Every structure is written in structure tokens, then in C-alpha cells.
Amino acid sequence: MTLPSLDNPIVWILAIPLGSAGFLAVLPNWRLATWVNILVSGASFAASLMLFQHRPEPTRLLFIDDFNVYLVVLTAFVGFTTSVFSAAYIARESKGARLSDAHLRFYHAMYQAFLFTMLLALTANNTGVMWVAVEAATLTTVLMVSLYRTREAIEAAWKYFILCSVGIGLALFGTTLVYLAAQPVMGDGADAMAFTMLIKRAAAFQPDLLNLAFVFVLVGYGTKVGLAPLHAWLPDAHAEGPTPISAVLSGLLLNVALYALLRFKMLIAANPHTLAPGPMMVAMGLSSLFLAAFMLYRRGDIKRLFAYSSIEHMGVITFAFGMGGALANFAGLLHMTMHSLTKSAIFFAVGVITQNAGTKNIADIRGLTVSHPLLGWAFVVAVLAIAGLPPMGVFMSEFLVLGSTFASQPLLAVPLALGLLLAFGALASRLQGMAFGEPSQLKGYAPPGRASTAMVYVPLWAHLALVVVAGLYLPEPLVDWFRAVAKVLG
Amino acid sequence: MQHTQLSYDLAHLIGATMLMAGFALLYQRRIYAVLNTFAFQALALAAAAAWQAHVQNAPHLYATAAIALVFKAILVPAALHWLVDKLGIHRTVETALSINWTMITGVALVALSILLVLPVTANAAALTRESLAVAMSIVLLGMLMMITRRNAVTQVVGFMALENGLLLAAVSAKGMPLVVEISIAFSVLVAMTLFGIFFFRIRERFDTLDLHYLETYRGERH
């Protein structure tokens, strides 16, 4: 195997975060580290934009196609904006006694390592490399969730470790089964693990083995997507880790796990004799939607509230891909993008809100639009967007999911609409108390400086602007592109 | 090298040994016995990987065998022994489901995996076929152990037993690439999480490794 050349953007996209993870691990000054973190995340994002100009040839290990290119760019973008928010968050957090210098060094190194593993999972052409990357992503996030070392953080990290390790263990068994199904047709070795080669000849694979493999992959990677009933780790991990990590967990990691699942779904769908993978995904999607919609009503912790909202949206997306067909796939892809942008924006806002208020308890957070107008209204817009109110992008994608379901399976559209309305009601009622009324007393850190404030507001409003614009107008090339991908997904 | 009767029989013998160790893990009542049984299972995994390396003429599997031997059969059990000693953890295994019922469930799971795997692999090489059924049984028994044992140490052992099953499947799949990388990834995951973070931190915070004490927390604070 020859090493890929340096003009290949994938090399840069992977080398920048990996190299900087090593560099940040030894950089002693954490203030400098926050800036280096922003700089290298920006460089990764710039490298990912090069993919539009120059699409590299697939190798047996790495590849870029229409589907993953947009996820790579989205991941690099949200990774970049979150690094900006993270700098402001960490600067305030360091005033408290919770984090030592060594912890912060570790945090920044793990942040880049985490971005590397996600980008590797997205660009992997080899089922085994993808698995190793998702496993490493689990490891880095487990370590970051436990960063505060409180009793809750350790329990959350333990639960996350146990559940997701079993999950990825099962995904590995599924991966092995896919290899066994492919091996008689493709021969031994790396060819029988490369997605680009598998998909061409999947029709000749043994269907029963593929069915069994898909069940394992669905349960395995589905645990990581946070699909009910395998979601138990997700609210704890989101609630107890540092807030920038909640933003990338929700906005990016769940997408990556779903991407892995969809790659395998494409393989199964390419074989005419297998069971249809759709109904299983529809069932898991609906159960996640309902479970999360009901759980939203009883939440007392603001980060946990939005973690359940992530389960809800991953349920909707899985449902959409389970329905399949050009329109539902289109809606699923759009919803993945919109959810990622909106949910990370919400966590940016939540990070500042909890730092101001000194609590995550919803009952103790009131009157945000009065006390901090710019932040408060951004929070209102973001929560209304995630709840699915027009004209924001999430509304449009949810509307498309619902519309395409009505067209193909009207009976399934009823529970879907009900679940979405339930979730909307929960979020709207929670939002009212937090956003309006007499402001609560602020018991958190001292107000941030001007630069720090800007570093939260710029990424926050940038995400929201994208979401609002996408709801009103999608550029023609983007629509064509989503359409092309939706067709590939089958 | 051809799949002779000997290579077939010996691979089965080792696989069956691992499965028996998987059952033995379920009925141990003392933590040290659990650790020793796990070490034995890991030793059998090392033998299975080495035998597959020989039969398939795939030298990289010797690396997997070495990792299983050094890391899983020696280092991890020794470190867990040390931790149990050092932290004064209860020496008895606490069960959520009685041992009799656990064993019956275990037998049912083995039957399930044989019934599932054998029909769908009718076309696969015989060597792979039965190994896969055994591997899946070991995976399910590991999960059963994680579910029915309360203590953090026994949960980790359950996870590593599950992992033994996964690696048995991976080494038995003829010519599967990346097996070494996968076994390294697992080892790093266990080592980093276990020794880097949890045991010392749990010790720091709770003075106990019994997850029972963790269960009072339900996620919401008021």
C-alpha cells in the first residue's frame, strides 16, 4: 500500500487534528492551548472545504463520496465553531476550582483526538477502520465526560463506558459477520471490507448472514446513536460533561454513529434477498421519539432536557431513513444537518446560561430575555427552532418527513405527528419559564469580558442564521446535491 | 495449509474450552475465582489465536495471541487482583439473579446462538461456522454476566469475556484484516478507562467499587 500524497485533502483533514492532539497534550499553557485549539480546528475546516474542489480517488482505507463529504464538512465546521465557544467557556470555568491545568491540557488534547476519530470514521472506506474510529471516539468522550470528577460525572462516564462498549462490541460482531458474508465472493483480505467494493457485489452475498449482521450493527451502532431502548447513557453523558462536549456529542457524534449505520443499511439494501432494514429502523425511531417526547415533560435539568431532545431528533432522523425513498432520505439528510447546527447552538447558549446562573436546574433559571437580551432571544430562537416552529430549517425537514410519510404510509404519519407535537409542547412550556418573567438571581461566575462574550455570540448567531436561512431558502446546488445523495441511499 | 481434521478438531476444542470458561465465570461466588477463570479464558483465546495463525498461515495473528496472553491473561487479572486487595472490595460476588437462573439462561443463550448461526452460515467454511456459533455464545454469556452482576469489577470482567468472544470470531474469520488493530483498540479502551480513570476516581469519591452505591443517583438533582 502506498502512502497517499500530500495534495490529498483527506490527509490534511486527518493529520491536522491528530498532530494537534499530540501537540496540545504537551503544551503547558492552557490559555495558549485554547487559541491553538481554535486555530487548528479552523485549519481542519479549511482543509475540508478543499474537498469541494478536489475529490480524491478512493483508496482501500479512505474515501470520499457524495454522502460523506457533506458530513465531513459539517463535522469540521461545528468542530471549529465549538472550539471558539469552548475557549470562552474554559476561560470562565478556569476561574472556578473545578479544573486544574493538567485537566485543561488533557481536555484540549482529547478535543482534537475526538475530532480526529470522528473524521476518520466518516472517511473510512474499511468497515474495520470505521469500527476502530468509533471505538476510539467512545474512549475520548468517556474520558471527557468524567473530566469534572464529581460523583455524577463519574457515574455518567461509567454508564457511558459500559453501555457503549457493549454497543460497539456488538457492532464489531456485525462487522465480522459482514466480512464473512463477503469473503466467499470477494476473497480474503481488505477488499472484503471496503465499502466501495462491497456495495458493487453485495447482491451476491449470502442474504441470511447479512440479515443477522444488520441486527448486530443496528443494535451496536444504534446504542451510540442513542436510539431507545438503548439510550440510557446519553442524557447522563450530555448532562455531566463540560458543555462544549455536550455540543459536539449531540451535534456530531450521534450523526457519525448514524452514518455508520446507514453505510451498512446501504449494503443490506443492495442485496435483493435480505429482509428490508426499513421497518426495524422505523420502529426504533418511533420508540425513541415517543420515549423522549414523554421524558421531556419531567426534566428538571436543562442539559438533560436538551439531551432528551437529541434522542427525539435522532429518532425522527432514523425514522426518515427507515421509510426510505427519495423524499424521506432527503428529509433525513436535511434534518441531520439542521439538528446538528441547532442543537450545538442551543448547547452554546446553555453553557453561558448555566455559567451565569451557577445551576443547571430549570426552576432556578428565569427571565433570560430580561437579564441578557441578546443571549435570551438567541436561546428562544434556538429552542423554537429545535421544537420545529416555522420558518426555521428544522420545521422544514420535519415537515418533509411527515409529508413523505403521509404519501407512502399514512398510518405511520399519525404517531409521528403526535410525537412531534408532544415534544413541541414540552419544549415550549419549559422555554416560557426560562425565557420570560422576573429574572432569577445569578449565582454563577462573574460576567465574562467583552471578547469572551463575542466568542459565544458569534458562533451561536452564526448557527442560528444558517438554520433560519435554510428554512426560508435552500440554494439550488445544495438541493441537487441532497437529492443525489438521497438516491444513493435507496 | 489445508484444513485437516486435526486443525478442525483442535480449533473446536479450544473454542469449547473458552465457552466452558464462560459458563464457569457465571457460577463463581468469589471475586478471586472470577479473575482466575477469566485469566484461563484469555489463555484459551491466546491459544485459539495462535492456532488460527498457524492454520491460516497468517503470522499477524500471533500478535493478537501475544496481546491476549500478556495483557488479558496476565496483566489485567493481576492488576484487578491488586485492586481488589488494595481497595478492600467485598470478596464475594453479588448477584442480581440467582446462580441457578443465570446458568439456565446461559444454556438458553447458547442454544439460541447455535440455532441462529448454523442455518445462516450453511455455505461458509466448516471451521468458521462452528467457531462463530461458539463465539456468539461467549459474547452473549459475557453480556449476561454484565447484567446479572452488580460489582464494578465483575462488570468489567463480563465485558472482557464478551470481548474474548468477539476476538474469537475475528480470528476465526479467514483472512480478516485489522484483527490486531482491533485487539489493540480493545486493550487501550479497557486499560485507559479502567486504570486511568475509574478505579482511582471511584476510590477517591466513594471508597468502594460497589456500583450499588452509585445507584442512589437517578440523574436529577433538586
A168/chain B closest Cα distance in angstroms: 10
What count of other Cβ atoms lies within 10 Å of the Cβ of residue A212? 25
Q: Which residue in B141, B153, B201 has the most chain A C-beta atoms within 10 A of its own C-beta, making it the best mutation to test that interface?
A: B201
Residues with Cβ within 8 Å of A236's Cβ and at least 6 positions away in sequence, in order, are: A152, A155, A156, A159, A160, B219
Contact yes or no for A118/B169 (Cβ under 8 A): no
The Cα of A453 is separated from the nearest Cα of chain B by a number of Å equal to 29
> What residues contact residue A154 under an 8 Å CB cut-off, 6+ apart?
A146, B198, B201, B202, B205
pLDDT at residue B155 in the model: 86
Taking the CA of residue B178 and the nearest CA in chain A, the distance in Å comes to: 6
First-residue to last-residue Cα distance in chain B:
66
- For the entire predicted model, the pTM comes to 0.92
Min Cα–Cα distance to chain A from B166, Å: 6
> Measured between beta carbons, which residues in chain A are less than 8 angstroms from residue B205?
149, 151, 154
Instruction: Report the distance separating Cα A231 and Cα A224, nearest Å.
Output: 8
The pLDDT assigned to A97 comes to 65
Please report the pLDDT score of residue B84 as a whole number: 79
pLDDT of residue B154: 85
Alpha-carbon span B128 to B11, nearest angstrom? 10
pLDDT tens for A35-78 read: 999 999 999 999 999 888 888 888 888 898 888 898 999 999 99
Contacts 24+ apart (CB under 8 A), B181-187: B181/A128, B181/A132, B182/A128, B182/A131, B182/A132, B182/A172, B183/B64, B183/B67, B183/B68, B184/B67, B185/A132, B185/A135, B185/A136, B186/A135, B187/B67, B187/B71, B187/B72
Confidence grade of residue A227 (pLDDT, cut at 50, 70, 90): very high
Burial zone of B55 (CB within 10 Å; 0-12 exposed, 13-18 middle, 19+ buried): buried
Whether ipTM tops 0.85, in short, is yes
Chain B residue with minimal CA distance to A208? B120
Confidence category of residue B195, pLDDT binned at 50, 70, 90: low
Which amino acid is located at A187 in the chain? G
Chain B CB contacts of A206 below 8 Å: 120, 123-124
Residue B216 has pLDDT above 50, yes or no: no
Question: Helix H segments across A206-325?
Answer: 207-225, 233-240, 243-248, 254-269, 278-296, 302-323
Indicate yes or no: CB of A299 within 8 angstroms of CB of B189.
no
From CA A146, how far away is CA A127, in angstroms rounded?
29
Residue contact A180–B173, C-beta within 8 A: yes
Q: Choose the closest CB to B116 out of A162, A180, A212.
A: A212
Cβ proximity of A382 and A350 under 8 Å:
no
- Whether residue A72 contacts residue A118, with contact meaning beta carbons closer than 8 Å, is answered with no
Pick among A161, A191, A214 to test the B interface (most B CBs inside 10 A): A161
Please state which of the ranges A36-45, A269-278, A304-313 shows the lowest mean pLDDT.
Answer: A269-278
A356-360, A378-382, A484-488, B210-214 — which is least confidently predicted?
Answer: B210-214
Q: Is 70 exceeded by the pLDDT of residue A110?
A: yes
Query: What per-residue confidence (pLDDT) applies to B197?
Result: 54
Q: Tell me if A309 sits within 8 A of A292, measured CB to CB.
A: yes
Query: Average per-residue pLDDT in chain A?
Result: 90
Q: What is the pLDDT of residue A284?
A: 94
Residues β-bridged to residue B30:
B92
Taking alpha carbons only, the member of A145, A147, A148, A164 closest to residue A156 is A145
**pLDDT tens digit sequence for B31-40:** 899 999 999 9
Q: How far apart are CA A270 and CA A200, in angstroms?
A: 8
Confidence at B168, pLDDT banded by 50, 70, 90:
very high
Cβ–Cβ gap B139/A170 under 8 Å: yes
Are B197 and A142 within 8 A, CB to CB?
A: yes
Q: CA of A373: how far to CAs of A2, A343, A353, B199, in Å?
A: 56, 20, 12, 45
